[in-house]
């Protein structure tokens, strides 16, 4: 079946406004979903599911969060790491202190806490724009990580300041054999902690990410998304058509921080297992911003493509370097080389396609639409 | 039929020159029911032997879509024989849409209002307009009084005042740097005047922030196009509907139930505007790629989607060729006629201004130097001097 | 326990280190003013400059062994470029275009130089240096005359320099910074003309990684002591001890700022700079060569980075943490305004004083210390809420 929209007639506005109006896109989406849910657990490779896929999904989610703020609402933020940390530590404390709560509720609550903090640090966005705002958001980054380092309560007074994800089940302690909701026990699987299987962690992460990504897709194509894009493209005109700038921007900060917060929580609970604030430092914020830029500003799919690029590039570099330069390269030279190539790749990519993978994907689709008759 | 007799539903307010027709909580399912009502209306009108304004209350009134055309036909007949103008109250969304649609095809003014107060106010304005010819700042629909605007030491506007009547096309002209755009910015709430007042529908709105002014029913287009360049034509026009949409972001995220229904309802409205402006073909093109003339048209579409009471147009024809200018002039006139939208217009092309406007005010160096009908302004020696210089 | 002398000492210490922050911030301001690029790599440039300077000093005689060769090679290439620029007709055929020649030369250099330079002792350092040379050559293809001049300068300095000393090292580092600026202009900025500011910003973050990697790859990641000949002896005025070094740093910063202010407002280049900052296209349309202006500005920023690197390096030791100074400069920038040279100075003073006083009197006693990481940002954020245009920015009148 060729990739065509010709001949696919839509008779209602509802059909025209579906997420994937083109039939082939729907097929690809569902095919991809099936592969994503079925294939990795079958491989059984812990490395593949953990450091590669789970990490990719988590960072993709964070990048999606930042993309909502930067790509859709046009507000640059360098505080992503800070907001992820809020989500992670809030989720940790909910899970630790209220084991009755289902784990996915912990994730959501972590996200909501991050959303509140995000709104707080988004307040200056009313008055300041662009790079001034970007630098101001660094306040969130530095202040939040400092507070998690200095206030012991957040890490349950762990002497090393490390938050270790406790062993928790998907539906919480009430849904165990002994609890009041014991009928749910059979499906109440262990998700976190040392005994949880990598498959479960991966699948839970994947499910969260898929649901949140679809919600985000809906959000950006509805009135909320249009208000964000209006503010991004021309804030003066947006205000003149009646959009309230502060409310719209703060909503963007809230939703974006929610996504980052959930990503932070997932990062600790389903990938790292335990973390201190170094997992959420400034480098992380930049990393996420890179994913957004390289993936494509204002694209949901792009966020994940960007995440894939940033997560996989070091892996590829590592493999290449260790096969080529085993023994001849001292490790510090290798890490410097990696820095240079990473930075160089980013510059190269920005020069070649400043609008990111999402744009390449779009161009590819447009070409495919005409193929095999290019004119 | 309802618990009230038809007789009681028709009342005459002599002092307001108004006949009030109360359709509230009524159901018109068949042609007979419609005829029964309108026969009574016609009889009473015939007895009165004069023309009236009609105030029609549609609260909770249900009209069977199949008999809509009969219903409208009878209404139109009554209006032609005895009407001065009609205002409508509290129509449900579907009724409202149908009326609007008919208003557009049949070329009458929809005049739909939320409540009785608004409608009565509009009615009194209509009466005033009929009684008083010429401008009178106190009674104007939109009145601008003694506006001063300073930026630091620079005076952009100095004691400018004028009144805009409902439904008119009001032009602001003047040489470059006269303060026309500043004036429009003050009206649209983008600049807050240093002193002076802006009164709209009898209420002072000088201190309102920009977005609240939009809520009052002001829409505008810009001299240098201010479209959302990253979005498609359709999305741009849809942003104009944002104020009329009630869904919140949680429903939006689910895109389910009310959010979806609302989205589609507004899409239909927007499609009508797209049809009206003849921009169907570029519906899904990002506006950044469109040529200048089309961008201007999309911008007008976005403003129209706001369903404004007052439309502010900042040089809508600047930089266009003759053909595009004619198109645009036609759109402006059509909008004014079909929706009855009040227009405030800045334009350099004197031909266009003189052709389409009902009132003209002339600014020079931030001051008002003349005001009047196009013919009065055209021959005013002060205006000629401002444009052509001394001697 | 209020001790006014202690407070005054803290305050003055803060103010003086604030001046040093301004020095880093100044590099940002220069580039932002002239090109609208928010150059995140300024911190890395400080590190790079300081490392180059200190290691040229340290390597000394060792360096001499191969600079002779290097300079000879440079001189030949530079001469060739000069000739090509002067007599393009020297090469008539379509096959041997200057571009191809340069690329071929670069390729040969890539293969030969590492072996030539260190005799295989430290091959990778050679590779890094070769990459630098390659950058220079790519510059050379587009701006042969400028590149040739710089190369010739390097060649002359290193050939006649003899033993490396403080001043020769300074001169060489200056030249290296200029080359770096030209390379950045050519490789990174030129292909990105007319892109969105955020794209340029991202590119400078990438650049930041590259420069950091190169700085540590060409040299190393150890801490190097740097002595610039100023004793850090405190002297006393009315019971308050003030660091002599800090005063020296403050005076240097002041001189640099004064010089830059004159440069911006009085010279032809300065006027061109302001035009470019206002509007790229308009500036190009009146015949201002965008590329040259950018190269000049980046070179100026590189020189400022060198001074900042030397001062900070002699205070903290030359090491990786110099790159992190950028984060001290950012709140200074938003306080002072991205485009204001005096703003950078005043902002630096405020930030320096505030963070010291806050840390000493609030942070350490009550909050467990470490507040310096965020207090300047909080200050800047709150400040911006009340004055969005910064200290010295003009109130923006928005027009539609």
Interface of C with A in 323-362 (CB under 8 A): 327, 330-331, 333-334, 338
Residues in A closer than 8 angstroms to B260, CB to CB, are: 14
β-pair partners for B346: B172, B314
Whether B335 has a pLDDT exceeding 80, the answer reads yes
For residues B162 and C393, the model is more confident at: B162
Among A38-47, A226-235, C218-227, C247-256, where is mean pLDDT lowest?
Answer: C218-227
| pLDDT band at C330; cut points 50, 70, 90 | confident
| pLDDT band at A327; cut points 50, 70, 90 | low
Does the beta-carbon distance from B230 to A245 stay under 8 Å?
no
Nearest residue of B to residue C396 by CA position?
B151
Instruction: Tell me, yes or no, if A321 comes closer than 8 A to chain C by beta carbon.
Output: no
CA-nearest of B162, B216, B153 to B184 is: B162
B252-286 burial code (b ≥16 CB/10 A, e <16): bbbbeeebbebbebbbebbeebbebbebeebeeeb
Instruction: Tell me, yes or no, if B151 comes closer than 8 A to chain C by beta carbon.
Output: yes
Whether A213 has a pLDDT exceeding 90, the answer reads yes
Long-range interactions of A132-136: CB distance < 8 A, separation 24+: A132/C334, A132/C338, A132/C384, A132/C388, A132/C390, A133/A75, A133/A76, A133/A77, A134/A76, A134/A77, A134/A78, A134/C201, A135/A78, A135/C330, A135/C331, A135/C333, A135/C334, A135/C377, A135/C380, A136/C334, A136/C377, A136/C380, A136/C381, A136/C384
Span A76-85, pLDDT tens digits = 899 999 999 9
Instruction: Tell me, yes or no, if B113 comes closer than 8 A to chain C by beta carbon.
Output: no
CATH superfamily, domain B137-388, is: P-loop containing nucleotide triphosphate hydrolases (3.40.50.300)
Instruction: Tell me, yes or no, if B194 comes closer than 8 A to chain C by beta carbon.
Output: no
Name the percent of chain B in helix, strand, coil, to the closest 5: 45, 25, 30
d(CA A87, CA B250): 20
Torsion of CA B237, B240, B241, B244, to 10 degrees: -170
Interface of C with A in 123-162 (CB under 8 A): 124
Residues in A closer than 8 angstroms to C207, CB to CB, are: 343, 347
* Joined tokens for residue B211: 């977005």
d(CA A172, CA A179): 9
Contact B359, B171 (CB under 8 A): yes
Task: Provide the whole-model pTM.
Answer: 0.80
C268-297 burial code (b ≥16 CB/10 A, e <16): ebbebbebbbeebeebeeeebebbebbbbb
Span C257-284, pLDDT tens digits = 788 878 777 888 788 887 877 777 788 8
Instruction: Tell me, yes or no, if A88 comes closer than 8 A to chain B by beta carbon.
Output: no
Interface of C with A in 191-230 (CB under 8 A): 191-192, 195-199, 201-203, 205-214, 216-217, 220-221
Taken in order C120, C122, C128, C133, the sign of the CA dihedral is negative
Q: Measure CB to CB from residue A142 to each of C198, C334, C377 and give the nearest one.
A: C377
Instruction: Tell me, yes or no, if B229 comes closer than 8 A to chain A by beta carbon.
Output: yes
Residues in C closer than 8 angstroms to A330, CB to CB, are: 124
Neighbours of A5 (CB within 10 A): 13
Contact C335, C347 (CB under 8 A): yes
Q: Measure CB to CB from residue C370 to each of A134, A146, A297 and give the nearest one.
A: A146
Instruction: Tell me, yes or no, if A355 comes closer than 8 A to chain B by beta carbon.
Output: no
Min distance C394 CA to chain B CA atoms (Å): 11
d(CA A222, CA A213): 14
Residues in A closer than 8 angstroms to B252, CB to CB, are: 218-219, 222-225
Mean pLDDT of B272-284: 90
Q: How far, rounded to the nearest angstrom, does the alpha carbon of residue B97 sit from its chain's CA centroid?
A: 16
Q: Measure CB to CB from residue C397 to each of B151, B224, B226 and give the nearest one.
A: B151
Span A161-186, pLDDT tens digits = 888 888 888 888 787 777 787 777 77
Contact C373, C32 (CB under 8 A): no
* Confidence (pLDDT) at A118: 95
Domain ranges of chain B: 7-131, 137-388
d(CA B222, CA B313): 7
CA-nearest of B341, B284, B369 to B166 is: B341
Residues in C closer than 8 angstroms to A131, CB to CB, are: 38, 197, 201, 338
Number of DSSP helices (H) and strands (E) in chain B, helices first: 14, 17
**Which architecture, in CATH terms, is A44-370?**
Orthogonal Bundle (1.10)
- In chain B the first and final C-alpha atoms are separated, in Å, by 75
Whether A58 has a pLDDT exceeding 90, the answer reads yes
For residues C67 and B98, the model is more confident at: B98
Nearest residue of B to residue A226 by CA position?
B239
Q: Which residue has the tokens 């001049």?
A: C149
Whether B365 has a pLDDT exceeding 50, the answer reads yes
Contact B188, C398 (CB under 8 A): no
Residue A160 DSSP SS3: coil
Segments in C267-374 forming alpha helices (H): 268-278, 280-285, 290-316, 326-336, 341-358
Min distance B42 CA to chain A CA atoms (Å): 41
Among A315-324, B157-166, C10-19, C201-210, where is mean pLDDT lowest?
Answer: A315-324
Does the beta-carbon distance from C334 to A132 stay under 8 Å?
yes
* Joined tokens for residue A307: 């995440």
* Residues above pLDDT 70, as percent of chain B: 93
d(CA C18, CA C25): 10
CATH 1.10.3470 domain range(s) in chain A = 44-370
Does the beta-carbon distance from A237 to B211 stay under 8 Å?
no
How would you classify the pairing of strands B83-89 and B62-63? unpaired
* Joined tokens for residue C68: 């002779």
d(CA C197, CA A78): 15
Fold of B7-131: Transcription Regulator spoIIAA (3.30.750)
Does the beta-carbon distance from B222 to C400 stay under 8 Å?
yes
* Confidence (pLDDT) at C121: 47
Q: Which residue has the tokens 């400078």?
A: C204
Instruction: Tell me, yes or no, if B190 comes closer than 8 A to chain C by beta carbon.
Output: yes
Most confident of A218-227, B75-84, B331-340: A218-227
**Which of B230, B232, B241, B314 would best serve as a mutation to test chain A binding (most A beta carbons within 10 A)?**
B230
For residues C148 and C206, the model is more confident at: C206
Residues in A closer than 8 angstroms to B243, CB to CB, are: 241-242
Mean pLDDT, chain C, rounded, equals 75
Taken in order C82, C87, C90, C95, the sign of the CA dihedral is positive
Does the beta-carbon distance from C400 to B151 stay under 8 Å?
no
Instruction: Tell me, yes or no, if C398 comes closer than 8 A to chain A by beta carbon.
Output: yes
Residues in B closer than 8 angstroms to A230, CB to CB, are: 228, 231, 239, 242
* Confidence (pLDDT) at A365: 82
Contact C44, C208 (CB under 8 A): yes
Q: Which DSSP string corresponds to C89-143?
A: GG--SSSS-HHHHHHHHHHHHHHHHHHHHHTTTTHHHHHHHHHHHHHHHHHHHHS
Q: Measure CB to CB from residue C400 to each of B151, B152, B190 and give the nearest one.
A: B190
Does the beta-carbon distance from A350 to C192 stay under 8 Å?
yes
Angle, helices A80-97 vs A55-67, to 10°: value is 120
Mean pLDDT, chain A, rounded, equals 86
| pLDDT band at A257; cut points 50, 70, 90 | very high
Nearest residue of B to residue A212 by CA position?
B253
Does the beta-carbon distance from C217 to A340 stay under 8 Å?
yes
Span B47-84, pLDDT tens digits = 877 778 888 888 888 888 888 888 888 887 777 677 77
Residue A8 DSSP SS3: coil
Segments in B258-370 forming alpha helices (H): 258-276, 292-305, 322-339, 350-356
Q: Measure CB to CB from residue A232 to each of B230, B240, B242 and give the nearest one.
A: B230
Instruction: Tell me, yes or no, if B276 comes closer than 8 A to chain A by beta carbon.
Output: no
Contact B357, B169 (CB under 8 A): yes
Q: Which DSSP string corresponds to A182-229?
A: GGGGGG--B-SSTTS-HHHHHHHHHHHHHHHHHHHHHHHTSHHHHHHH
Whether C88 has a pLDDT exceeding 70, the answer reads no
**Which of A117, A123, A133, A146 would best serve as a mutation to test chain C binding (most C beta carbons within 10 A)?**
A146
* Confidence (pLDDT) at B1: 44
Whether B20 has a pLDDT exceeding 60, the answer reads yes
Q: How far, rounded to the nearest angstrom, does the alpha carbon of residue C48 sit from its chain's CA centroid?
A: 8
Min distance C398 CA to chain B CA atoms (Å): 9
Span C26-66, pLDDT tens digits = 888 888 877 778 888 888 888 888 888 887 777 665 555 55
- Chains with ≥3 CB–CB distances under 8 Å to C: A, B
**Which of C114, C135, C194, C206 would best serve as a mutation to test chain A binding (most A beta carbons within 10 A)?**
C206
């Amino acid at each position: 079946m060729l990739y065509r929209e010709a001949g696919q007639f839509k008779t209602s506005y509802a059909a025209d406004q579906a997420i994937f109006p083109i039939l082939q896109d729907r097929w690809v989406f569902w095919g991809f979903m099936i592969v994503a849910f079925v294939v990795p657990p079958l491989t059984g490779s812990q490395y593949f599911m953990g450091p590669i896929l789970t990490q990719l999904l988590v960072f993709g989610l964070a990048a999606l969060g930042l993309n909502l703020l930067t790509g859709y609402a046009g507000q640059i933020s360098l505080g992503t790491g800070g907001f992820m940390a809020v989500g992670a530590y809030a989720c940790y404390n909910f899970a630790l202190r209220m084991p009755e709560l289902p784990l996915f509720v912990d994730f959501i609550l972590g996200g909501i806490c991050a959303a509140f903090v995000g709104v707080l640090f988004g307040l200056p966005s009313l008055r300041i724009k662009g790079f001034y705002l970007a630098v101001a958001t660094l306040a969130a980054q530095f202040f939040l990580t400092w507070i998690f380092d200095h206030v012991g309560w957040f890490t349950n007074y762990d002497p090393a300041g490390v938050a270790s994800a406790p062993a928790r089940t998907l539906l919480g302690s009430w849904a165990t054999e002994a609890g009041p909701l014991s009928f749910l026990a059979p499906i109440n699987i262990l998700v976190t902690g040392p005994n949880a299987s990598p498959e479960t962690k991966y699948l839970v992460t994947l499910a969260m990410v898929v649901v949140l990504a679809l919600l985000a897709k809906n959000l950006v194509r509805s009135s909320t998304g249009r208000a964000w894009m209006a503010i991004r493209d021309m804030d003066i005109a947006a205000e003149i058509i009646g959009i309230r700038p502060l409310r719209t921007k703060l909503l963007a900060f809230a939703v974006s921080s929610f996504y980052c917060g959930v990503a932070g929580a997932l990062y600790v609970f389903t990938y790292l297992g335990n973390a201190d604030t170094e997992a959420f430092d400034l480098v992380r914020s930049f990393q996420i911003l890179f994913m957004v830029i390289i993936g494509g500003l204002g694209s949901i799919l792009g966020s994940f493509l960007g995440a894939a690029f940033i997560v996989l590039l070091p892996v590829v570099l590592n493999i290449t370097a260790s096969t080529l330069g085993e023994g001849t390269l001292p490790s510090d030279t290798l890490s410097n080389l990696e820095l240079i190539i990473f930075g160089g790749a980013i510059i190269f990519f920005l020069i070649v396609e400043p609008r990111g993978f999402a744009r390449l994907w779009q161009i590819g689709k447009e070409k495919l639409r005409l193929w095999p008759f290019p004119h | 039929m309802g618990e009230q007799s038809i007789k009681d539903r028709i009342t005459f307010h002599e002092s307001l020159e108004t006949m009030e027709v109360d359709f509230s909580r009524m159901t018109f399912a068949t042609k007979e029911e419609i005829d029964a009502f309108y026969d009574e209306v016609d009889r009473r009108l015939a007895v009165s032997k004069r023309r009236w304004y009609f105030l029609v209350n549609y609260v909770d009134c249900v009209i069977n879509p199949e008999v809509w055309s009969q219903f409208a036909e009878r209404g139109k007949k009554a209006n032609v024989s005895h009407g001065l103008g009609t205002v409508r109250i509290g129509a449900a969304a579907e009724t409202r849409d149908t009326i609007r649609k008919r208003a557009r095809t049949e070329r009458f003014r929809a005049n739909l209002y939320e409540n009785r107060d608004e409608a009565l106010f509009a009615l009194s304005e209509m009466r005033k307009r009929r009684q008083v010819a010429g401008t009178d700042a106190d009674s104007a629909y939109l009145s601008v009084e003694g506006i001063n605007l300073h930026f630091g030491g620079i005076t952009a506007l100095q004691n400018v005042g004028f009144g805009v009547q409902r439904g008119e096309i009001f032009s602001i002209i003047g040489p470059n740097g006269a303060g026309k755009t500043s004036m429009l910015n003050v009206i649209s709430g983008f600049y807050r005047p240093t002193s002076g007042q802006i009164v709209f529908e009898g209420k002072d709105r000088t201190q309102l922030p920009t977005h609240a002014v939009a809520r009052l029913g002001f829409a505008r287009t810009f001299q240098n196009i201010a479209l959302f360049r990253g979005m498609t034509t359709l999305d741009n026009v849809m942003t104009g509907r944002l104020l009329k949409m009630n869904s919140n972001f949680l429903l939006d995220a689910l895109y389910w139930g009310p959010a979806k229904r609302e989205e589609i309802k507004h899409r239909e409205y927007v499609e009508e505007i797209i049809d009206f402006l003849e921009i169907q073909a570029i519906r899904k093109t990002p506006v950044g790629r469109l040529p200048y003339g089309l961008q201007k048209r999309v911008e007008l579409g976005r403003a129209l989607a706001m369903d404004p009471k007052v439309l502010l147009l900042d040089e809508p024809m600047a930089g266009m060729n003759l053909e595009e200018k004619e198109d645009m002039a036609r759109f402006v006139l059509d909008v004014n006629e079909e929706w009855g939208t009040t227009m405030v217009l800045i334009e350099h092309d004197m031909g266009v201004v003189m052709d389409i406007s009902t009132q003209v005010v002339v600014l020079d160096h931030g001051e008002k130097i003349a005001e009047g009908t196009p013919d009065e302004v055209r021959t005013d020696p002060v205006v000629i001097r401002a444009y052509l210089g001394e001697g | 326990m209020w001790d006014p002398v202690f407070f005054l000492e803290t305050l003055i210490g803060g103010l003086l280190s604030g001046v040093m922050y301004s020095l880093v911030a100044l590099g940002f301001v220069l580039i932002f003013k002239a090109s609208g690029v928010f150059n995140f790599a300024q911190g890395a440039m400080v590190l790079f400059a300081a490392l180059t300077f200190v290691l040229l000093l340290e390597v000394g005689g060792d360096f001499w062994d191969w600079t002779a060769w290097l300079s000879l090679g440079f001189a030949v290439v530079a001469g060739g470029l000069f000739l090509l620029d002067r007599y393009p007709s020297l090469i008539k055929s379509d096959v041997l275009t200057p571009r191809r020649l340069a690329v071929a030369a670069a390729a040969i250099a890539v293969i030969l130089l590492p072996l030539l330079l260190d005799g295989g002792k430290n091959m990778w350092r050679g590779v890094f240096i070769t990459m630098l040379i390659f950058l220079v050559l790519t510059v050379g293809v587009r701006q042969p005359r400028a590149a040739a001049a710089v190369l010739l300068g390097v060649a002359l300095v290193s050939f006649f320099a003899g033993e490396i000393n403080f001043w020769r090292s300074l001169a060489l580092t200056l030249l290296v910074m200029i080359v770096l600026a030209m390379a950045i202009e050519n490789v990174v900025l030129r292909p990105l003309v007319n892109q969105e500011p955020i794209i340029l910003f991202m590119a400078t973050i990438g650049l930041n990684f590259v420069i950091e990697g190169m700085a540590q790859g060409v040299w190393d990641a150890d801490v190097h002591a740097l002595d610039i000949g100023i004793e850090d002896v405190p002297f006393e005025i009315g019971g308050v001890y003030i660091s002599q070094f800090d005063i020296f740093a403050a005076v240097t910063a002041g001189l640099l700022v004064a010089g830059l202010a004159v440069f911006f407002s009085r010279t032809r280049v300065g006027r061109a700079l302001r035009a470019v900052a206002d509007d790229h296209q308009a500036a190009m349309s009146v015949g201002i060569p965008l590329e040259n202006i950018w190269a000049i500005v980046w070179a100026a920023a590189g020189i400022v980075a060198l001074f900042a690197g030397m001062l900070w390096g002699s205070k903290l030791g030359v090491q990786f943490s110099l790159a992190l100074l950028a984060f001290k400069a950012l709140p200074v920038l938003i306080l002072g305004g991205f485009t204001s040279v005096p703003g950078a100075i005043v902002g630096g003073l405020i930030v320096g004083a505030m963070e010291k006083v806050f840390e000493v009197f609030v942070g350490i006693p009550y909050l467990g210390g470490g507040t310096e990481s965020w207090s300047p940002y909080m200050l800047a954020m709150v400040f911006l809420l009340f004055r969005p245009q910064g200290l010295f920015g003009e109130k923006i009148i928005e027009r539609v």
